[in-house]
């Protein structure tokens, strides 16, 4: 037993001795390949040399190997990338190929019937008329959709607020003009629409250039009044004669597809214009539209249904799918902007007739008779006339406030506040939530005032902004 153990130890030692020369040979080869080299340079009769040490040669070799590997990887990637692009292009033609296959199947059926002595032309045309009736219904719906969107998504809606019966009377001393223009030019469109029968906005839209789009009514009428059974009264003789109705249906389908793309382009342009108009109105009051969209929590109500990817070939092709995705994002952005603007103080602080006695900006102070900044608008009405909140919010102040007299301050979203000063009575308390149109006090003559009126201010992050800008913002919602 002892002898066996000695023999095993000797055998293991022998194996180690065999592996050692192999490792030594590798290191000798590596040292030979990357041995120290000198590069001699002769200049102006002088000889200099640069020593390339083994570690420097190994570094250069590694850099060269990495570059060679990256070149090979990029070459392979470019080759496969072309294949992926070609695969995507084939997928984008899936719907068209499917439709062409269906037409080819119908044409193959016609080729099979061509060998028969009799062709049931009446039954064939009846089926084609059935397909055309369905297409006519789609075309009619398409025309309604075009008219609907060319009116501006929908007939312009007037803000349903508490100021429907508001009338602004001219003052003997008109307020100071600013860069925003006279107030009458801002209010007349709203009063005219609100006092009418509700059709003014729709009629304006119908007379606009948007209704003269790509809808060819004469061609639409001609298509709808055509029936293949009355058009093709002569028996079919050749294959081309039998395929003619299908060719016409194919052309009608192509026209419908083109009209859908044109309609989506028009909707895209319209959504851009609406977003630009709303963004401009928001910038005029000192807010960033992107910040307003980001801070607005709003989702369209009364919607639902299964999820369908717009890029699904069964739904539509990539062109329509991409357009729908882009339009959907723009409409969502505008909905958030409109929702945010509707929560701003867009209404008037009083119903009925009132008069503007002093505008926003520099004016002659009624007490000191010198030029001073007026941070709001003065509205004159009978003493005790109800004063109402111009937007939903939370009351932050409802007490005597020095020169303001009895004043109510309401905080609205996005850092906006509204103030109602010189009141004779206050009907709300701090911390109370109020709605647009709710009575918050009565017009009076308290504080630094020369007569019965209400001093109305709007501020954005404590900075005074002319209420005219909020009233003008209502135009962006139409």
DSSP character string of 77-126: HHHHHHHHHHHHHHHHTHHHHHHHHHHHHHHHHHHHHHTSS---HHHHHH
pTM: predicted TM-score of the whole model, two decimal places? 0.52
Which stretches of 129-226 are assigned E, i.e. beta strand? 167-169
Q: How many CA atoms lie within 13 A of 234 on its CB side?
A: 5
Above 70 in pLDDT, residue 312? no
Task: Choose from 33-47, 292-306, 414-428 the range with maximum mean pLDDT.
Answer: 414-428
First CA to last CA across the chain, in angstroms?
A: 106
Q: How confident is the model at residue 318 (pLDDT cuts 50, 70, 90)?
A: low
Phi, psi of 418 (to 5 degrees): -130, 140
pLDDT of residue 201: 35
pLDDT at 34: 78
**SS3 category, 445:** coil
Rounded distance, CA 465 to CA 344, Å? 13
Who contacts 355 (Cβ-Cβ below 8 Å, separation ≥6)? 168, 169, 170, 171, 379, 380, 381
Q: What is the mean pLDDT of the chain?
A: 73
Residue 187 neighbours by CB under 8 Å, 6+ apart: 168, 471
Chain centre to alpha carbon of residue 383: 47
CB atoms within 10 A of CB 471: 22
Highest average pLDDT, of 171-185, 283-297, 299-313, comes from: 283-297
Q: What is the pLDDT of residue 152?
A: 52
Phi, psi angles (nearest 5°) of residue 395: -70, 125
């Amino acid at each position: 037993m002892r002898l066996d153990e000695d023999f095993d130890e000797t055998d293991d030692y022998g194996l180690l001795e065999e592996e050692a020369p192999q490792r030594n040979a590798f290191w000798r080869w590596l040292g030979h390949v990357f041995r120290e080299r000198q590069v001699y340079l002769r200049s102006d009769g002088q000889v200099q040399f640069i020593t390339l040490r083994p570690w420097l040669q190994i570094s250069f070799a590694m850099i060269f190997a990495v570059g060679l590997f990256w070149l090979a990887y990029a070459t392979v990637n470019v080759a496969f990338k072309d294949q992926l692009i070609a695969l995507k292009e084939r997928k984008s033609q899936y719907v068209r190929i499917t439709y062409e296959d269906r037409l080819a199947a119908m044409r193959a059926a016609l080729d099979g019937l061509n060998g028969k002595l009799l062709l049931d032309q009446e039954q064939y045309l009846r089926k084609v008329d059935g397909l055309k009736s369905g297409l006519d219904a789609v075309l009619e719906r398409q025309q309604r959709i075009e008219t609907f969107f060319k009116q501006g998504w929908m007939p312009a809606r007037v803000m349903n607020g508490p100021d429907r019966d508001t009338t602004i009377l001219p003052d003997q001393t008109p307020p100071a003009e600013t860069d925003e223009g006279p107030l009458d030019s801002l209010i007349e469109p709203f009063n005219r629409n609100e006092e009418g029968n509700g059709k003014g906005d729709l009629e304006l839209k119908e007379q606009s250039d948007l209704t003269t789009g790509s809808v060819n009514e004469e061609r639409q009428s001609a298509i709808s009044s055509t029936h293949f059974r009355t058009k093709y009264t002569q028996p079919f003789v050749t294959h081309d004669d039998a395929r003619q109705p299908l060719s016409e249906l194919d052309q009608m389908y192509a026209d419908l597809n083109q009209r859908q793309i044109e309609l989506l382009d028009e909707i895209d342009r319209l959504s851009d214009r609406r977003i630009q108009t709303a963004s401009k109105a928001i910038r005029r009051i000192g807010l960033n539209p992107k910040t307003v969209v980001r801070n607005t929590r709003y989702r369209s109500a009364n919607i639902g249904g299964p999820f369908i990817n717009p890029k699904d070939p069964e739904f539509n092709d990539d062109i329509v799918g991409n357009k729908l995705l882009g339009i959907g994002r723009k409409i969502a952005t505008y909905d958030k902007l409109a929702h945010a603007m509707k929560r701003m103080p867009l209404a008037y602080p009083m119903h009925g007739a009132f008069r503007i006695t002093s505008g926003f900006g520099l004016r002659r102070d009624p007490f000191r008779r010198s030029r001073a900044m007026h941070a709001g608008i003065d509205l004159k009405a009978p003493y005790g006339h109800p004063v109402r909140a111009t937007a939903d919010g939370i009351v932050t102040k409802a007490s005597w406030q020095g020169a303001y007299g009895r004043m109510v301050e309401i905080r609205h979203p996005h850092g906006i506040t509204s103030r109602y000063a010189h009141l004779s009575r206050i009907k709300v308390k701090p911390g109370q939530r109020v709605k647009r149109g709710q009575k918050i006090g009565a017009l009076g003559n308290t504080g630094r005032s020369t007569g019965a009126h209400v001093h109305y201010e709007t501020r954005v992050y404590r900075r005074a902004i002319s209420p005219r800008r909020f009233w003008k913002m209502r135009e962006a919602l139409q």
